[in-house]
Homo-oligomer: A and B are copies of this chain.
Amino acid sequence: MTIRYRAFLGDSKSFIEDYISSLDFDKRLTKYVAMVMLAHVKVLENSGHIPKEYVQNIVKELIDIVKTDGEKIYKWIEEKKVKFEDIFEAIESYLYDVVDGGAGYIALGRSRNDHVAAVLRLYARDVLYNILYNLIELRKALLEKASEYRSTIFPFFTHQQLAQCGSAALYFLSYEYTLSTVWRHLLQLLDILSENPLGSGAAAGTVVPLDIGLLSKYLCFKQGVLPPYYATGSRLFLLSLVSGIVLFMGELSRMAEDLISMNCIIPYAIEFPVEHISTSSIMPHKRNLVTLEIARSKISKIVGLYTSMLSIYKSIPYGYNLDLQELNRIFMDIVSDTISTLNVFIDIIKGIKINEDKIIKYVEDKPCWSSDVVEYIAITKGKPVREIYFQIARQLKSYRQNGDTLSKILLNIGIQPNNVWNIIKSRPIEMYIKKMIEGAWRILEEDRKLVKDSLESIESCRAELISEPRQV
């Protein structure tokens, strides 16, 4: 037997059922749906709203779904050849089919609207933990490189042209700092992902007196009651998460641009792990940084998809609309590209090597010391910096036009060419690198502990939820 909510509406058509059904991408939600139903059934049992005799079988089936990601359900759906609207309808129908009785009681005090809002939070919270962990791995890889190349000369660009030279550590520290900033921003989203929307009915509440506190306990949600229209109609929690994803992905895209750019401008200055390189089917000399090309494109895709989400969301009045279902589909696409892209970056950063000699060779005929020398003369001679600036500007113009050597220019302005690196290394920030690296490691360890503790508490209450019912 199958239960269809549309039983009293009328016929359907196959291509339309495909169009509106979410069953295909609900797969990733299946276990969370079962968790929420499990908590719900336990609470109904607790308050006597479902006859005790039915509970055990239902609970057993739901635990099985959680543990196997709904393996049996999907086999059953295939056998039945029914295009369910979504996994909620499918599971309810399945329970009707496989348990002796009681399935009809489950829909009490719930709607798909509040349940899906709970399910999505559980799913998104797990996604967030995954991202937080991966970001910690990436930050770790960056800090390792910062330590390894603490005083290796590295080119720093503005306007995609060599601007200054400095220690490579500063490059890696910049990205690690950025990611740690976004990391803390993301961590705070655990809060909105732990709100409990259950008990909100379709839009304005249920008449069934549910024990909301107990539901929260089962599902590791925060205590507290939400306004039901918000609980069922809002997807702020999803948009907030994607908004955070977009922020760090934007930074990774710039890192991809950096590395692809370096690879053209100073070939072999950075050696990349060979797995990230492809060649051409016709030009055997090509060594293309293909993972990074894919990465920056996927990030553009995510930005566009976030626009889609915002555009969908902002145009619908409050309350649940099926438009929200499309948000889920888009969200899952974003998640999958995000996780794989993070793994690509972790792998590439871990694997890169810097060849300082290539960099030194590249910079030797480029005055990447111009601002340092201007400042150095200004402070040592006590002269107005702008005056020195124009003096050197004049010299460099002549360098370009008459082919003077840089050494000659330096000598003209009273600097020994081999003293240039000392001037650069005398920057206060260069002295400070060691301290910055140490500080960053310390914060990284704190962050790792934070997320570990938080996840363990989630896992322990989840274990409790799916523990087999006590035998009577």
Contact = CB atoms under 8 A, between A and B. Distances in A.
A48 to B, nearest CB: 9
A286 to B, nearest CB: 6
B317 A108 contact: no
Majority SS of interface residues in chain A?
helix
Contacts of A89: 281
A81 interface: no
Interface residues of A, number: 183
A10 B275 CA distance: 7
A298 B353 CA distance: 36
A156 B389 contact: no
Contacts of A308: 300-305
Nearest to A252: B314
A372 B312 contact: no
Contacts of A75: none
A287 B6 CA distance: 10
Interface string A289-301: 1110110111111
A417 interface: no
A118 B208 CA distance: 55
Given A16-B347, A166-B205, A177 B230 contact: yes
Contacts of A108: 375, 378-379, 385
A431 B74 CA distance: 41
B236 A247 contact: yes
Nearest to A324: B297
A436 B296 contact: no
**Interface core residue of A88, A261, A366, A428 (most chain B CB under 10 Å):** A428
A282 B111 contact: yes
A386 B3 CA distance: 10
A111 B428 CA distance: 16
**Interface core residue of A182, A325, A326 (most chain B CB under 10 Å):** A326
A206 interface: yes
A338 interface: no
A407 interface: no
B8 A393 contact: yes
A166 B290 CA distance: 24
A455 interface: no
A254 B102 CA distance: 39
Contacts of A290: 20, 159, 322
A196 interface: no
A158 interface: yes
A204 B309 CA distance: 34
B304 A305 contact: yes
A104 B200 contact: no
A156 B236 contact: no
Given A301-B326, A314-B254, A11 B275 contact: yes
A421 interface: no
B282 A156 contact: no
Nearest to A409: B285
A70 interface: no
A343 interface: yes
A192 to B, nearest CB: 6
A257 interface: yes
Given A281-B107, A290-B322, A174 B230 contact: yes
Contacts of A239: 247, 250
Contact of A372 (B165, B207, B317, B325): B207
A106 to B, nearest CB: 8
What 10 A-B pairs come out closest when comparing CB atoms?
A104-B384, A304-B308, A166-B204, A10-B274, A205-B429, A284-B393, A297-B326, A159-B288, A315-B315, A174-B230
7 contacts: A8-B279, A19-B291, A107-B281, A163-B204, A173-B227, A284-B390, A284-B392
